[in-house]
Amino acid sequence: MGVPQLILDGSRLLLALAAPASLVALVLAGIALRREGTTSFSVGGGGFSKWMFWAIVMITLPQVFGWFAFWGVGASLPGGGIGAGWMATFSNDATILVNTLVIGRLVPVLAAWMVLRAVIDFSEGYSPLASTLGAMFLLAIPATAALLQSWNDGTRFGTAAVLEGAWTYTASQIMPIAAGLAVIGAIINFALGRPAIRLIGCAGAFLTVAALWKLVVSMM
C-alpha cells in the first residue's frame, strides 16, 4: 500500500470515528451536568457546554473539513470505504464498543447510580435536581444524538445550523417545561413558608426567553 492511499485511509478512519466520539462526548456532558448542576450552563465556562459543543463538532466534522476545500487550501474529503483491513476492523470495533458497551451497558448503570445519588441528596436535605437531570440526559443520549444529527444541513455551515437548532429547541421546548417546574417549586415553597417570588420570576423569564432575546437584538 502506497503512502497516499495510507493517508486517505487514515482520513477515512478519523471521519468514521467521529460518530462514536460524539456519543462519548455526550456521555461526558451528562457526567458534567450532574457534577456542575446549574452552573454548567454558564457562558463559555461549564463542562456541560464544552462537551456538548464537541459532540456537535464531531457530528458535523465532515462539514467542518469542507471549509478547507472552500478556501482552496485542501482537496475534498475522500469518499469510499477504508482500504486497509486493520483500519476498517479498528473502525468497526470502536463503533461496536461505544454503541454496545458504553451506550448500551455502562450508561444505564451510570444513570441508575445517579438516581440513587438523587435519593441520597434528598435525604440529606440537598436538591436532587442535578442528579435527576444527569440521569435523564444519559438515558436520552441516543435520541439526543439523532436530534442533533437531524439539525445538520449537510453544508459547511452544519455546525452553526446544529447550534441554531439547539437554541431553538431549548427556547421552544425545554424552557416551557422549566417554567412549569419553577411554578411547581414556587407552590411548594409557598406551602412550606419559604420565599417563592424568585421562582415565579424565573418561570416568567423562562416563558419569555425568546422574546427577551429578540428585545436584546433589537436594542443593538
Can you tell me the mean pLDDT for 148-169?
A: 91
Of these ranges, 124-128, 139-143, 213-217, the one predicted with the greatest mean pLDDT is: 139-143
Determine the pLDDT at residue 162: 94
Q: DSSP secondary structure string, 49-111?
A: HHHHHHHHHHHTHHHHHHHHHHHTSSPPPP-S---SHHHHHHHHHHHHIIIIIIIIIIHHHHH
**Whether the model pTM is above 0.85:** no
Cβ-contact 57, 50 below 8 angstroms: no
Determine the pLDDT at residue 16: 80
Closest by Cα among 137, 128, 135, 138 to 181: 128
- Residue boundaries of the structural domains of the chain: 3-155, 157-220
- Tell me how far apart the alpha carbons of residues 28 and 23 are, in angstroms, rounded to a whole number: 9
Determine the pLDDT at residue 40: 45
- Tell me how far apart the alpha carbons of residues 86 and 7 are, in angstroms, rounded to a whole number: 14
116 pLDDT more than 90: yes
The CA-atom distances, in angstroms, between 176 and each of 53, 169, 173, 209, 210 are 23, 11, 6, 10, 11
pLDDT category at 139 given cuts 50, 70, 90 is: very high
Query: Which position has the higher pLDDT, 79 or 195?
Result: 195
Helix (H), strand (E) counts: the chain: 12, 0
Query: Which position has the higher pLDDT, 103 or 37?
Result: 103
**Least trusted range by pLDDT, from 28-42, 127-141, 193-207:** 28-42
- Is 193 strand, coil or helix? coil
Determine the pLDDT at residue 39: 47
